[in-house]
């Protein structure tokens, strides 16, 4: 894949920035909704446990929407598809801010989640298509920086606004950011035509490759370890570390710094050795998660461990590039499915971590659960490496 001529396009950095603004909007609404849960639960007259279903509804929308929209839009240009996805995202979040009762909130959060995976998948393909092949992972990372920056800036700001002016305004601001993204992409993204012969059937037919499913499984299992700890981070700090609620944003910001740092540094290695980098990230995550139970005694060690765990989040960027290599003609669908896999991890990690806590193993047991999930992801990467090695043509024997 070669980069288009710079004389016919806006600067590549501006295009990547436009795509990253959409990532910032998505990251803000995805993570901030968890911190806004007590506010909209009170206003809608439901308890916190019931309100949590709104988060599950969004995740379900991501899992369903990513493959569905990618397949149905196979004959559309990537530029116009991104604009349409951001308009749908703006609609879902705008309606979420206007929800009058619990059923409406569920429907609107599901609607907001539908374009999430497809947007990131298509945006990654557009970003990678603007640079030389050896810089693809860096290009994808620039798009993902919008999401990681949201964990440092967007989420704390959303929580502040939720307390100061009301949770509905947070969804309104996210909707405005989505509209801004749609406008920027429309103006800056390259004008492209649908690929010749592109069709939903071609996308689906190309999914018969084992390497695609091994890559998706590595994300769905391996990434679950991070979510197992992140979901119960606040409760662990209150119950085990013994800090006040005001200290929780510090640890959340430390996690976001690690996530952002990982996406800035790791792609430099991934563009040279993709699968070894993915394997190394999972080993890193496993070690960081094993250290979590030992780090919960003090705020400084919690922040250090949260940063280390956040660095492992660069796995998403690495696997996104891996899918470009193995997806063949199913580029859009495979790229979108990557985010379905990570939302599967977002459900699996908290589920298993919660089971360990409920079984009496304590709040810190999420670290052990996370380490086992990282090990499971590493096993799938190992299988992918072995399969790829077996498929390589043997070297010719010397005469």
Tell me: the pLDDT tens digits for 43-55? 888 876 677 778 7
**Helix axis angle, 210-222 relative to 365-391, nearest 10°?**
160
pLDDT interval class at 10 (50, 70, 90) = low
pLDDT tens for each residue of 135-164? 888 888 888 888 888 878 887 777 777 778
Cα gap 346→393, rounded to integer Å: 38
Check pLDDT > 60 for residue 393.
no
User: 117 with 340: CB under 8 angstroms?
Assistant: yes
pLDDT tens for each residue of 340-380? 888 788 778 888 888 898 889 999 999 999 999 999 999 99
pLDDT interval class at 7 (50, 70, 90) = very low
| Distance from the Cα of residue 2 to its chain's centroid | 26
User: 63 with 343: CB under 8 angstroms?
Assistant: yes
Q: Which two tokens stand for residue 243?
A: 């800090």
Q: Alpha helices, DSSP H only, in the chain?
A: 12-44, 48-51, 53-72, 78-98, 102-128, 136-149, 155-164, 167-188, 200-205, 210-222, 224-231, 233-236, 248-270, 274-295, 299-311, 315-326, 331-356, 365-391
Q: Which CATH superfamily is domain 199-389 in?
A: MFS general substrate transporter like domains (1.20.1250.20)
Pick the CATH number of 1-197 from 1.10.287.130, 1.20.1250.20, 3.40.50.970, 1.10.260.40: 1.20.1250.20
pLDDT tens for each residue of 241-252? 988 877 888 888
Q: What is the mean pLDDT of residues 114-124?
A: 87
223: closest CA among 361, 332, 52, 376? 376
Check pLDDT > 50 for residue 200.
yes
* Percent of the chain with pLDDT strictly greater than 90: 31
In the chain, residues under CATH classification 1.20.1250.20 are 1-197, 199-389
Cα gap 225→375, rounded to integer Å: 9
Q: What is the mean pLDDT of residues 374-398?
A: 78
Q: Which two tokens stand for residue 92?
A: 């879902």
User: 282 with 222: CB under 8 angstroms?
Assistant: yes
CA distances 317 to 124, 140, 239, 260, 320, Å, are: 9, 6, 33, 11, 5
CB within 8 Å of 399: residues ≥ 6 apart: none
Check pLDDT > 80 for residue 5.
no
């Amino acid at each position: 894949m070669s980069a288009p001529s710079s004389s016919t396009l806006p600067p590549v950095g501006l295009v990547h920035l436009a795509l990253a603004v959409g990532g910032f909007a998505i990251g803000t609404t995805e993570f901030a909704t968890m911190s806004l849960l007590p506010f909209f639960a009170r206003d809608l007259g439901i308890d916190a446990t019931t309100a949590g279903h709104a988060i599950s509804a969004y995740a379900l929308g991501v899992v369903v929407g990513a493959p569905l929209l990618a397949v149905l839009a196979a004959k559309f240009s990537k530029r116009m598809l991104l604009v349409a996805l951001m308009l749908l995202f703006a609609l879902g979040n705008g309606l979420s801010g206007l929800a009058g009762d619990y059923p409406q909130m569920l429907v609107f959060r599901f609607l907001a989640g539908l374009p999430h995976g497809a947007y990131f998948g298509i945006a990654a393909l557009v970003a990678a298509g603007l640079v030389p092949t050896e810089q693809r992972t860096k290009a994808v990372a620039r798009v993902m920086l919008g999401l990681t920056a949201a964990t440092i800036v967007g989420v704390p700001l959303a929580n502040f606004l939720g307390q100061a002016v009301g949770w509905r305004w947070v969804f309104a601001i996210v909707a405005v950011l989505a509209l801004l993204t749609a406008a920027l992409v429309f103006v800056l993204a390259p004008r492209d035509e649908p690929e010749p012969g592109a069709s939903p059937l071609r996308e689906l037919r190309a999914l018969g490759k084992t390497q695609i499913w091994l890559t998706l499984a590595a994300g769905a299992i391996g990434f679950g370890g991070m979510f197992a700890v992140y979901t119960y981070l606040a409760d662990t700090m209150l119950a085990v570390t013994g800090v006040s609620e005001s200290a929780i944003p510090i640890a959340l910001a430390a996690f976001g710094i690690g996530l952002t740092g990982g996406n800035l540094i790791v792609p430099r290695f991934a563009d040279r050795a993709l699968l070894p980098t993915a394997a190394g990230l999972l080993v890193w995550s496993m070690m960081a998660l094993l250290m979590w139970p030992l780090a919960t005694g003090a705020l400084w060690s919690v922040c250090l461990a949260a940063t280390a765990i956040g660095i492992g989040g660069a796995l998403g960027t690495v696997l996104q590039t891996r899918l470009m290599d193995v997806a063949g003609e199913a580029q859009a669908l495979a790229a979108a499915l990557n985010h379905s896999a990570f939302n599967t991890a977002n459900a699996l990690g908290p589920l298993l971590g919660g089971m360990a806590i409920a079984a009496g193993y304590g709040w810190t047991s999420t670290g052990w659960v996370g380490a086992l999930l990282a090990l499971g992801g590493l096993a799938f990467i190992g299988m992918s490496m072995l399969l790829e090695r077996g498929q390589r043509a043997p070297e010719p024997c010397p005469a």
